[in-house]
Amino acid sequence: MILRSKAPLRISFAGGGTDVPPYPEERGGAVLSTTVNKFAYATLIPRKDDTISVKSLDYDIVAKYRTDEKLFFDGELDLVKAVINSMKAKQGLDLFMHSDAPPGSGLGSSSTVVVTLVGLFQKWLNMPLTDYDIAELAYKIEREDLGVKGGKQDQYAATFGGFNYIEFHGPTTIVNPLRIKRDILNELEYSLILCYTGRTRLSANILTEQVDKYVKKEKKSVEALDELKAICIDMKNALLRGNLQEFGALLHQGWMHKKKLASKISNPEIDKLYETAREHGALGGKILGAGGGGYLLLFCEFDKKHIIAEKLENLGGQIVNFGFEYKGLQSWVVE
C-alpha cells in the first residue's frame, strides 16, 4: 500500500500580520487569501519493521529513525520530526517529500508541508479529524511543539484551499469561503504577476521585531496592524463586488502599511522592483509572507503586464507562472 498527500501553497492579499499572536487574542485578526497551483507533496509506504526512513527530494537528504525513539530538533528535517513525534506512529515507514517552493519564499511552504504530513498520517492511521482539526493540529506542531514563530493563516489556507476570508478571535478561527463569480476570478488571475525576488529569508527574525513593537504598544505598529485589518475587509468587499481597480489600489495601501511593521520587511532591492512596476503601470502589490524576500505579487492592467514583466526581469526578478487552486488538502491511497 502507498499513501500520498498534497496541499496547495497560498498567496495572501491582505491582513497578514494580524494572525500573529498576541494581536488576534487582543484585537482580533483577519486575512484574505487564496491557494495557488503550487504544492507540497508527501508519500508514505508502511514497512514491516520499526525503521522510519525520511527522504527530502528537494534537499537530497535521507535520514533514518526508530519508532520507539523521541526525535530531537537539530535543524535537519525538524518539520518532519515534529509531525512524527506528534502522530506517534507505531509502525515503520518510508516517507518521501518535496515542494514546489522553498521555505522562506513567502508562499507558506513550511506550514503547507506540515499540513501535507498531518493529512498523510491521518489517512494512514484513519484518524477522525475535520479540516479545522487538521489545521489546528498543524499549527500546534509547527508553532508550539517546534517553536517556529508565525501566524495561523497558512495552516488553514493549505487545509481548506480556495478563496477564504479567515477571522482569528483568540483561540477561535473561522474560515469563510468566498463565493466569487468565475468572471471576476478569471480577470483577477489574468491581472496578477508573481515575481520571485531571487532570495529567500528567515521570517522569524522579521516577526520577532513585529511582535516586539506590538507588545510594547508602539503607536505606529498598532495603527498599522489595525489598518491592515480594515484594508482586508475592504478588499474582501471589493472582490465580492468585482471592483478590481479598487482591489489593486487597496493592495498598494496594504503594502505601505505592512512596511511599517518591521525594518526588514522591505529592502532596497524589493523597493526597486516595486517602484519600477508602479512606474510602468502596476496599480498595487506586496511581498508575500513576512517580507524580506521571496515572491512579489503585483496587480497590473492587462496591457501593461508584458512591459512590467520585462522590466522586472531586467532587474533580476523571475516571473513565475501560476493559477488559482480551489481545493485544499487531498490524501489518497494507491493500491
Which residues does the annotation mark as catalytic? Answer: 154
Write out the DSSP string of 41-87. Answer: EEEEEE-SSSEEEEEETTTTEEEEEETTSPPPPSSSSHHHHHHHHHH
SS3 state at 334: strand
Alpha carbon distance 248, 77 (integer Å): 38
- Which set of grid coordinates corresponds to residue 123? 489517512
Alpha carbon distance 216, 321 (integer Å): 41
Q: Residue 319 in contact with residue 313, Cβ under 8 Å?
A: yes
Alpha carbon distance 290, 271 (integer Å): 15
Q: Residue 261 in contact with residue 286, Cβ under 8 Å?
A: no
SS3 state at 308: helix
| CA distance to 5, 158, 237, 259, per residue, from 330 (Å) | 6, 10, 29, 35
Question: Measured on CA atoms in the order 43, 319, 185, 226, is the torsion positive or negative?
Answer: positive
CA dihedral in degrees (183, 240, 260, 114; nearest 10)?
Answer: -80
Question: Measured on CA atoms in the order 191, 110, 115, 211, is the torsion positive or negative?
Answer: negative
- Residue 22: cis peptide before it, omega within 30 degrees of 0: yes
Alpha carbon distance 234, 238 (integer Å): 6
Alpha carbon distance 270, 56 (integer Å): 30
Amino acid identity for residue 90 in this structure = K
Place of cell 498523510: 120
